Amino acid sequence: MNERFKEPVLFVGDIEDDINLSMPPATGEEYIKRVILEARQCEDVVCAKIDEARLKKPTLNVKPLPECAKAPDYVSPTMEWQHCQLADFSHSRLYIAQMREEITNCNRKKKPMKDKLPDVNDQTRWIDMCTASEEKKTLYIEPTLTVILSMNQPTIEQVLEYLVEYLEEQISIQPPLGRWLYALLSALELPLNPDMCSCLRSLARTCSKMRSQLASSCANDAISLNLFICLVARYFRQLDLADP
């Protein structure tokens, strides 16, 4: 079969090697002879000679994604502890999902609690509400199931971004903020969009930075930091940030 492809399609007769290539061909047959003659003079395989000195080095500087800071030995979580936290977290997420489905199936009206929450674009009020100290406890609203169920997914994602940005400027996670972060993560739907994935990674890295600066006398303060690193890395599958 392959031999048939080697047979000439057009018959041009004998080809003389002394054809004057400087003169234009007088006939079509003579033109084809010249093409065949020129093709015979070409090498079967041609390799380009590259002058590497003239090649420019790539200007794109790709930086590796930052990882979490390694935990000091006195606050490093065990794998058994991480598995327990994942199990509890999965149970919380399942319960919230079941409640959402029940509300949808029953066609219930939106709960009035939503009217008491800040506007989704009011970053200052959300931060004040989720982080209020004892002196301003009248501003604080606990992230109860009723509150979380009254928030739609875009609001949950936006508030998470607000709180993570706020946390990056702090030196520790205060209990009110920690409860809100846990509740919002429990209600966060999968799969993550790119912005939310970046937000959660920032949360884990911020927690790891805080943890790396803890003194041995403050080891108990690492519990909440370990928890959020564990959830982001192992539940939300950012495994490059996980503690060993």
* Structure confidence by residue, pLDDT tens digits, 210-234: 999 988 878 888 999 999 999 999 9
User: Which of 84, 66, 89, 68 lies closest to 225, judged by CA?
Assistant: 68
**Cis amide prior to 8 (ω within 30 degrees):** no
Please give the average per-residue pLDDT across 115-143, as a whole number: 84
Average pLDDT value for residue range 181-189: 97
Structure tokens at 98: 């079941």
Which 8-state DSSP code applies to residue 233? I
**CA dist 56 → 53, 60, 63 (Å):** 8, 12, 20
Q: Tell me the percentage of the chain whose pLDDT exceeds 70.
A: 82
pTM over 0.75: no
Q: What is the mean pLDDT of the segment spanning 152-181?
A: 95
State how far the Cα of 199 lies from the Cα of 230, in Å rounded to an integer. 15
CA atoms within 13 A on the CB side of 90: 10
Catalogue the long-range contacts made by 181-184 (C-beta closer than 8 Å, 24 or more residues apart): 181/228, 182/143, 182/227, 182/228, 183/143, 183/147, 183/148, 184/143, 184/148, 184/156, 184/159, 184/160
pLDDT tens, residue by residue, 88-98 = 999 999 999 99
Domains and CATH numbers, the chain: 1-45 (no CATH), 79-241 (1.20.58.1070)
pLDDT at 5 over 80: no
The sign of the torsion formed by the CA atoms of 15, 20, 21, 27 equals negative
